Structure formats: C-alpha cells, structure tokens
A = this chain, B = another copy of it.
Amino acid sequence: MTQPKLVIVGSIGIDHIETPSEKKENLLGGSASYACAAASFFTPSAMVGVVGDDFPAEFLELYQKFSVDLEGLQKRKGRTFSWSGVYEENMDNRETLETVLGVFENFEPVLPESYQDATHVFLGNMAPELQLLVLEQMHDPMFVMADTMDLWINIAREKLLEVIGKVHMLTLNESEARLLTGAHNLVDAAHELLKLGPVYVLVKKGEHGSMLFSQTHTYIQPAYPLRAVQDPTGAGDCFAGALMGWLASKNACSATEIRQAMVRGSVVASFGVEAFSLDRLAALTPEEIRERTQDLLAMMSPEET
C-alpha cells in the first residue's frame, strides 16, 4: 500500500438541501467528502472522519471512485452527522434547519500510521481541539491548511488561536476574518491574522473569489463566473480540496504553486456547484478541468488571447 501524500480531516455528513428550485434528501456531504473528491483530480487523498452505521454503502463506493484512502475512516454505532439547510432566493444566504451531530459528537480522530508521514494536511472545519489532535499525530508535514467557522470563533477561540499558530495557512471567509480580528477592513483583518502565526491567510469571498495574503504579497483569485449554480454547498471545501490536491501532487508549498493551486481550486469548485452533492464531480473529467482552467486564466489575463 502506498503512503498517502495528502491527509484530509473533516465532517462526513448526510445532507438534506432545499434550493429555490429543488429539494433533495440523503445527499452525501460534509467537508471531508467534498475536499477528498476535489483533491482526487490531482492527488488521491487519505480521509480521517467518522460515519454511523446508517451510512449507505453506495457512499463508500463513491469515495472509492474518487480513490480515497479510507483506512482513517471510523465506523461507529449511531447516526451519521447530518445537516439540513435551505437556500434563500438567489442562493446568497442559507438557513440551517437542523444539525444532527450523531457519531460526530464524540469523534476522536485517529491517524493510521501510514498517514503520519503525509506531506500535506487539510484540517477541515471542525472543533479546533480535534484539529490539534490531528496535528499531534502528524510527523512533520510540509504544508498544513486549516479551515474554521464562526461557531469556533465564538465558543473555542483559545483553542482556535492555538491551531492558527501551528498551521501554514488559515482559510476562512470574509465575515469570519472580521469576527476573529474585529477589523472591518479585509486587508487589515488578514494582516492581523498573519500576526498569529500562519505564513498565509486565504480569505474566501464566494462568487467574488478569494484572496491570499502573506506578509509581503497579496494575490487575488477571481471565481469562475457561472451561469447556473444549482447547489453552493461544499464550494469552499471543493476549493480547499483541489488546492491541497494540486500542492500535494507537486510536492510543493511555494508561493507560485499556491497561486496555481488556487486557480485549480476555483475551477473544481465551479464544477462542484453545478449539481447537488458530489454529482458533478463524479462525472468530471481531467479534460474539462484543463479547458476551464485555460478559460479562467484567459479571463484573468490583462491581455486578451
């Protein structure tokens, strides 16, 4: 068995989602699911997570289709984590109807030995305490990126700051950057966050793309402009997964490779939201990714080609 280069830790969920045009139940979701699927177009990843005994066998088969190493996937008695949400008109906002923690509540990530020498680690959004547990089990990864959310900023700030001090890149969205720092201006907020330790801060701005900050440089990554967004769930995790998959495939963590990785992140995320769950990613081809990558780069170029 080959040693994985990329370890992805996060939630694995069964989602029930309502958009203005459709309502779908029992969808495969969760940050780890989206990120592992997106990474797979560049590097197979190794998953760390937990599912209950209600977790459908077809979802496990889907993971295998995406070449996910499941040695770190725990199966526990009880319900799989589940999220129900409804998107408002225009998909700009969403409301959570119900969150069932299930087996995720007592989740303790345990990394198989084969995972511990991975070069790249994505700590998906979850309790900072669990993110720290993962980090403690890794030997000496080249590049660790952590995601978070407003919940942890509000209820587990100290532990979150500990995580931020230990990772190479922190990713979060605009409002979370403001909440965590108290700075309204995004550039100010990002530079406050850099003071906490990470080499990079990656701010996600949804349809407006993302921005990468280091002490000395800023990079602006536009999102691929889409005509038809069917379900925005998991877009940030697709972005992060593809980004990490690209970096791991290049065995890299340089500033230029991170920019290149963000281009791929935007491209894969843009496909991801074209359908519910992992449906679009399951049908996605490397050729489609290549084409849209060229399209996006052409849209970003100050010279028309």
Instruction: Give residues in A with beta carbon < 8 Å to B.
Output: 90, 184-188, 205, 208-209, 211, 217-220, 222, 225-229, 254-256, 259-260, 262-263, 297-304
Contact = CB atoms under 8 A, between A and B. Distances in A.
Contacts of A187: 225-227
Contacts of A302: 256, 259-260, 262-263, 297, 300
Contact of A225 (B211, B263, B300, B303): B211
A263 B185 CA distance: 22
A188 B225 CA distance: 10
Contacts of A303: 256, 259-260
Contacts of A254: 304
Contact of A205 (B208, B217, B219): B208
Copies of this chain, how many?
A: 2
B222 A304 contact: no
A288 to B, nearest CB: 18
Contact of A185 (B205, B217, B227, B255): B227
A262 B304 CA distance: 12
Given A186-B225, A219-B299, A263-B302, 10 more contacts: A90-B184, A187-B227, A208-B208, A209-B220, A209-B222, A220-B299, A220-B300, A254-B304, A256-B304, A259-B303
A222 B300 CA distance: 9
Contacts of A184: 90
A298 B227 CA distance: 29
A188 B185 CA distance: 31
B304 A219 contact: yes
28 contacts: A90-B184, A185-B227, A185-B228, A185-B229, A186-B225, A187-B225, A205-B208, A208-B209, A211-B225, A218-B225, A218-B299, A219-B301, A219-B304, A220-B222, A220-B225, A220-B299, A222-B222, A254-B304, A255-B304, A256-B302, A256-B303, A259-B301, A259-B302, A259-B303, A259-B304, A260-B303, A263-B302, A300-B302
A147 B303 CA distance: 24
Contacts of A301: 219, 259
Nearest to A262: B302
